[in-house]
Structure 1
Amino acid sequence: MPVYKNKNAKNNKWYYSFSYKESNKYKKKLKRGFKTKKEAENAMIEAMDSINKGTYIEPSKTLYRDFMDSWLKDKKINVKKSTYSNYQYLVENFILVSLGDIELQKINPREIQTLYNDLKENNRLSSENIRKIHTIINDALNKAFKWGMINRNPATLVDAPKVVKKEVEVWNQDEINIFLNVAKDSRYYHAFLLALTTGMRQGEILGLRWKDIDIENETISVVQTLSHKGQELSAGAKTDSGNRRISIDSNTLSQVLKHRTLQKEEMMVNSPLYNSHNDLVVRTSTGLPLSPRNLLRSFYSIIDKSGIKKIRFHDLRHTHASLLLKQGVNPKIVSERLGHANVRITLDTYSHLLPNLQKETVNNFSKMFYQN
């Protein structure tokens, strides 16, 4: 492999060098500054691949917006559509507005930091999305560095924006009972019930099929989701750990199965217009996927009628988790029900809702310590 160690330089770092043919002319590609041989080899392979694919652009001719256009195209084939749409939205509406017309080689840390400051000071985006913008900029410029288009990645010199955690809002048992009592006549009662008793996400509930419910073993398999816009059903959950099997109590299962009877009646009334191919548990009167917007409209309408604290639909998931933890359920089990990647996420998210856990722990320790 044409990878070398610069023994004459003080930093003793690695570099790569290779020749390639372009327009019947041979050109030399050289990139310095790699800490390890492996890092230099990986960067060289990426650079060669980009040249072979025809996606490599000479640094001197590249504006940041042109490079980001190619970066987005590369991402499109490697991430889910919903993730790509989010990347595209943040790039086109926020990143390129500030950095798009700057030459790739001339972008500096000050310009990146100014973008973050502007977004935060003007409340244009949540702290989570500002952090996502940093991740995008850093990832893109890191690729430009590996490809030899810039001498260093300026984003590595900028502190990642701090994410301010929003306080999790949940209902207590009385509020749950009031809501469900008002919602019992709603067409989407079973959707609300599933959120409260299983902790499933909105997209997971709207993507749930009857064949995903194991009636005999009283379990639900989360293997499909509906997009935020309600236009696409996708295999798999939000994350790999989100693909899971959840136990469901018999009372909830009974309520959900009642809705299947209603759907069979609608299928007969609305035939042949009825679309039964999706097999969805939550669907419109003609069998189509239910728009998340319509579900939320019904949800907030019921909250207004109930006169209880207004929370988001996603907070039903938080409510489920907090109730389980307050009952003393092992956090590992709660984490598995929610589809978290690890139990630490669960504890970080909900620990502040459980002020009595430490007290209970201390009391139990005291009984053991002073038992003699």
Structure 2
Amino acid sequence: MATRARLRPLTRTSYAEHIHRHLQPHLGALVLAELTPAVVAQAFASIARHRSPTGVLLSAATVQRVRATLRAALNTAVHQGLLASKPAKGLRLEGGRAARPVVWTEQAVADWRNGGVRPVVAVWTVEQTRAFLDHVCGDRLYALFHLAVMTGLRRGESVGLRWPDIDLVRGTARVERQLQSHQGRLVELAPKSAASRRMVSVDHTTLGVLRRHQWHQQQETQGQGRVWDPRGFVFTALRGSALAPERLSRLFRKLNTSSGLPPVRLHDLRHGAATLALAAGVELKVVQAMLGTRASC
């Protein structure tokens, strides 16, 4: 960990969690010479059976990420001549494919209301999305939710937007940074990939929403006791400071619950934005560019 100075804060936190929660308990007492493929396989069989405090098994995707952390460390050991081979190279694990988004159809909603059955990744229908936006229209961060629904911005990208990034005349939003929480403070980072650094088109209705939001924000800055962040963020906490992504997620969950709509994650609004765009006839490559994702076969 000490040699990986360029790790992003959340990646560093994730690596540390993998090491301390999973790798050290199963492999930490061994010397390198004892680290054989059989030992690694046995350790990961135990890791895959690990349950959270609520009794939930680790997902296959999480186990895959733990293996990736181990392999990164072992690759360094091989390069430094501490190991002759990579004992985790041939390790086979259950596939950790990402869950496909499931639309909240009438039947899916009925199953959820009757038995609590909930998809891992869920997407609202157009009608449900409209109902949510109607429900939150009076919230001071309504413009953020509206923008996320229409453009698929990630959580950190939304709270990282500054007013100079938005062209209210040409109808564009430039994604150049994101905010992440690290060790109790907010840090600014570049987008997660080259594809994530992008220019997003903003429709006429959303531009109107942003203009109204800007006007309301200007009224807030004139209130007594306000200490406004000089960086000019588009979406802020109540007193003008940068908005933490986790705080935004908590607000979204609260609003989702009060709306009576079936639950989705804030991140799932990205899938909804893609669904809306594709349904409107937007080409797949254009949707991928909008979301800041790489093309895949």
Q: TM-score, normalised by structure 2?
A: 0.85
Larger relative contact order (CA 8 Å, sep ≥ 6): 2
Gaps of 5+ in 2: 53-57, 102-121
Would you say the 8 A contact 2:173–2:201 is kept in 1? yes
Say whether 1:83 aligns with 2:37. no
Structure 2 counterpart of 1:203: 156
**Distance (whole Å) between structure 1 residues aligned to residue 34 and residue 209 of structure 2:** 61
Distance 1:295 1:338, change over 3 A: same
SS of residue in 2 equivalent to 1:240: coil
SS of residue in 2 equivalent to 1:221: strand
Say whether 1:304 aligns with 2:264. no
1:242 Cα shift?
A: 0.5
SS of residue in 2 equivalent to 1:74: coil
Aligned residue pairs, count: 271
**Distance (whole Å) between structure 2 residues aligned to residue 254 and residue 327 of structure 1:** 21
Amino acid at match of 2:290: R
Superposed structure 1 runs of 4+ greater than 6 Å apart: none
Q: 2:86 aligned to 128, 153, 156, which one?
A: 153
Amino acid at match of 1:133: V
Amino acid at match of 1:187: R
Structure 1 counterpart of 2:3: 74
Gaps of 5+ in 1: 1-71, 345-372
**Distance (whole Å) between structure 2 residues aligned to residue 285 and residue 165 of structure 1:** 35
Structure 2 counterpart of 1:246: 200
**Distance (whole Å) between structure 2 residues aligned to residue 331 and residue 317 of structure 1:** 14
Would you say the 8 A contact 2:148–2:154 is kept in 1? yes
Higher alpha-carbon Rg = 1
1:263 Cα shift?
A: 1.7
Say whether 1:219 aligns with 2:160. no
1:248 Cα shift?
A: 0.4
**Distance (whole Å) between structure 2 residues aligned to residue 321 and residue 97 of structure 1:** 41
- Per-residue CA deviation, residues 312-370 of structure 1 (Å, 9 max, x unaligned), is 101111000012223332111011001112244xxxxxxxxxxxxxxxxxxxxxxxxxx
1:228 Cα shift?
A: 4.4
Say whether 1:259 aligns with 2:213. yes
Amino acid at match of 1:74: T
1:223 Cα shift?
A: 0.6
- Per-residue CA deviation, residues 185-238 of structure 1 (Å, 9 max, x unaligned), is 112111111110000000100111111101221100001111046832324112
Structure 2 counterpart of 1:352: none
1:93 Cα shift?
A: 1.8
**Distance (whole Å) between structure 2 residues aligned to residue 247 and residue 103 of structure 1:** 55
Would you say the 8 A contact 1:332–1:343 is kept in 2? no
Would you say the 8 A contact 2:179–2:189 is kept in 1? no
Amino acid at match of 2:208: S
1:147 Cα shift?
A: 1.5
Q: 2:190 aligned to 218, 232, 236, which one?
A: 236
Higher normalized helix content (fraction of residues): 1
Please tell me the root mean square deviation across aligned C-alpha atoms, in Å.
Answer: 1.8
Q: TM-score, normalised by structure 1?
A: 0.69
Deviates more, 1:136-145 or 1:298-307: 298-307
1:114-193 pair list within 5 angstroms: 114-124=42-52, 125-168=58-101, 169-193=122-146
- Per-residue CA deviation, residues 23-43 of structure 1 (Å, 9 max, x unaligned), is xxxxxxxxxxxxxxxxxxxxx
